[in-house]
A and B are shown apart, each in its own frame.
Chain A
Amino acid sequence: MNAELPLRKLVLRLVLVVAAMFAFGFALVPIYDVMCQAFGINGKTAGAYEGTQTVDEARQVRVQFLATNAAGMVWTFEPLADQIEVHPGASTEVRFVAYNPSDKPMAAQAVPSVSPSKAAAYFHKTECFCFTQQVLQPGERIEMPVRFIVDRDLPDDVHHLTLAYTLFDITSRQPALAHNGG
């Protein structure tokens, strides 16, 4: 039948659309990350910051620190200081303490978040324990540094911001550790 050919072409096109939309679903993952980075939404902070800035002595911003354990995480995890006052542009170092009370070596990953979320794009970390994974032996305690600069362009209506870390147990994702501890 001569009706077969256009039908075949149409169905083929529709199947291609289906495949493209399936791929688009996965493409949303990087698109979402790019959007979050570009607009500083969701409190997502960028990776390591390389630049330096001149210090704005006239302005003070209060930075608060939060440390939270994700569900099932047994470590003790807390900031040494709850909050500090900084000048925008100044490089500041603070420390967090982690302690592994369990009887096996464990690995952890800290995930940072800044609120208000519109300030996230103006909070630069030059050095952070969240850039790497932490491995602690049983009973080991460490101090972990974060070095950051609050950008001089931080919107004027932001007077204090919060840096929150959530600590996840990723021991099971580390084959060597999982085996040791097993």
Chain B
Amino acid sequence: MSAVIDDHGHAGHDHHHGPAKGLSRWLLTTNHKDIGSMYLWFSFCAFLLGGSFAMVIRAELFQPGLQIVQPEFFNQMTTMHGLVMVFGAVMPAFVGLANWMIPLMIGAPDMALPRMNNFSFWLLPAAFGLLVSTLFMEGGGPNFGWTFYAPLSTTYAPESVTFFIFAIHLMGISSIMGAINVVATVLNLRAPGMTLMKMPLFVWTWLITAFLLIAVMPVLAGVVTMMLMDIHFGTSFFSAAGGGDPVLFQHVFWFFGHPEVYIMILPAFGAVSSIIPAFSRKPLFGYTSMVYATGAIAFLSFIVWAHHMFVVGIPLVGELFFMYATMLIAVPTGVKVFNWVSTMWRGSLTFEAPMLFAVAFVILFSIGGFSGLMLAIAPADFQYHDTYFVVAHFHYVLVPGAIFGIFASAYYWLPKWTGHMYDETLAKLHFWLSFIGMNLAFFPMHFVGLAGMPRRIPDYNLQFADFNMVSSIGAFMFGATQLLFLFIVIKCIRGGEPAAAKPWDGAEGLEWSVPSPAPYHTFQVPPDMNDVHEHRKGTGGELTP
């Protein structure tokens, strides 16, 4: 891994502060680009690992009956797939993009707290080492679902649950430090003239995401600490025998969990808001409304958590409140979707790989949003709860939402990172195989879910057999395709057509004003945005007819 990345750090610049040589460069680096690259590689490794867990799940579900794994191991696979994808793949990928791009986008020389940046990255391998090691322990790894509801995760948990708790603590600390770093960078290190309302939307959405992280990751740390105390120190937070309540767990968990789902999507909103204007050759429609919509989504995410718990027995008023509050989120989200579509309207569109992923993002994320609205309807949710309909819903917002957003960002900025253009033909192939595979995998889940197939069960009724086989074939296709992505990225790092400083003719923003590949140190003298008249084009501005 390090040998591959090593190339681009040296190439293409003659600055006298080069990176250190060898392994210590990566262990001790405080450079935002190095750390960003490490985050992205870590995230991709976690993506493949979590993906291989998903392949085990889909292989078992290929046919009804138990063929490949035992139910105990199946439960560990669903749990670890969720945990690794959420905390290992999606979140670190966005932190990696933030590290690479935020300083370049706001004209800062580095992140505000570079040493802490190094620490927050290196906590992650430790956290996931702990987490994955539980699979090899006696009694197996976590098997209680990624939502780890008590008492499954306390009274009935495998012995390894303590390692799981410490892993969550470590990745929580890592995320909190990453978030503090983003806030400090954005609020302190903007170039002169880069006012808040001139920032690219990726910076805006990340700033809001960082505040969400700071607000809810400590609550997650609190809930696993309560579990730890219940398991080892005789407290009864979640044990009814000692006066506690298991339902309390769900409230505290989802107080974290719902903002968490926006943590996983808001940065993708920001990236897509840069990519769609670039390939439409038009400024983003409604920049200001995008900022306010993001803020509104973030605020609403704090008051909708109980929509995950409609069936636990909350009072009617509660169900109504959480139902309407949830539906309200469709308003700011709709503003965003309409803005993206309006940006494309009458633009001179071209469909390079970043744009393909971005357009698929808009369409498929909307489908996921609509199934979310269906789930928000409290009386209907009694039917959908814990079925494959829920699985279809959140995979539609996370795979073509978060993951396609990350792919779009990767292709969009790869020329800046590596100094080479990626192979466009292969990238398009990657897109189409991913697009078809992902829809084959997840669309039939809507149908089996509505027909009542429960989630997290290794066997199912014969009536669901055909749809499940289609899902599995789609999942294998999607999974295998990601090896193609690895190949494309490595090929791009090792060579290819040299990239211009601004390889996309419609792209705007400060990151394109530095050479490709981006030198090891950039913006040591901040650019003065007051002198740049054109900067708003890519970052915002109004639509002029």
Contacts and interface: CB of A to CB of B under 8 A. Distances in A.
A and B interact physically: yes
Interface of A: 3, 6-7, 10-11, 14-15, 17-19, 21-22, 24-26, 28-29, 32, 36, 39, 41-44, 70-71, 109, 111, 117-118, 166, 168-170, 173
B252 A25 contact: yes
A7 B240 contact: no
A19 B222 CA distance: 10
A66 to B, nearest CB: 15
B367 interface: no
A113 to B, nearest CB: 9
Given A29-B237, A70-B241, A117 B215 contact: no
Nearest to B312: A42
Contact of B222 (A7, A15, A22, A111): A22
A43 B189 CA distance: 53
A166 B313 CA distance: 18
A44 B243 CA distance: 10
Interface stretch (B179-187, B332-340, B381-389): B179-187
Contacts of A32: 245, 248, 251
Contact of A17 (B113, B215, B237, B315): B215
A18 B173 CA distance: 10
A3 B185 CA distance: 11
Interface residues of B, number: 37
A32 B30 CA distance: 43
Contact of A166 (B226, B240, B252): B240
Given A10-B183, A14-B183, A25-B222, A118 B315 contact: yes
Secondary structure of the B contact surface, majority rule:
helix
B248 A111 contact: no
A170 B240 CA distance: 11
Nearest to A172: B234
Interface string B182-207: 01100111000000000000000000
Contact of A7 (B176, B188, B215): B188
Contact of B241 (A11, A14, A168): A168
Nearest to B156: A71
Contacts of B245: 32, 36, 42, 44
Nearest to A36: B245
A169 B241 CA distance: 8
A170 B296 CA distance: 47
Given A42-B247, A111-B241, A168-B241, A19 B218 contact: yes
A21 B302 CA distance: 13
B112 interface: yes
Nearest to B112: A7
Interface of B: 112-113, 155, 176, 180, 183-184, 187-189, 214-223, 226, 234, 237, 240-243, 245, 247-248, 251-252, 255, 313-315, 318
A175 B255 CA distance: 36
30 contacts: A3-B189, A6-B188, A7-B184, A10-B183, A11-B113, A11-B180, A14-B183, A14-B184, A17-B215, A18-B180, A19-B218, A21-B215, A22-B219, A24-B222, A25-B221, A25-B255, A28-B248, A28-B251, A29-B226, A29-B237, A29-B248, A29-B252, A41-B315, A42-B247, A70-B240, A70-B241, A117-B315, A118-B315, A170-B242, A173-B242
Contacts of A17: 214-215
Contacts of B113: 11
B218 A21 contact: yes
A22 B240 CA distance: 23
Contacts of A14: 180, 183-184, 214
Nearest to B316: A118
B43 to A, nearest CB: 23
A22 B221 contact: yes
Given A25-B219, A26-B226, A32-B251, A3 B188 contact: yes
B315 A39 contact: yes
Given A11-B113, A26-B226, A109 B241 contact: yes
A28 B255 contact: yes
Given A32-B248, A32-B251, 4 more contacts: A11-B180, A17-B214, A25-B220, A42-B247
A171 B218 CA distance: 34
A109 B244 CA distance: 12
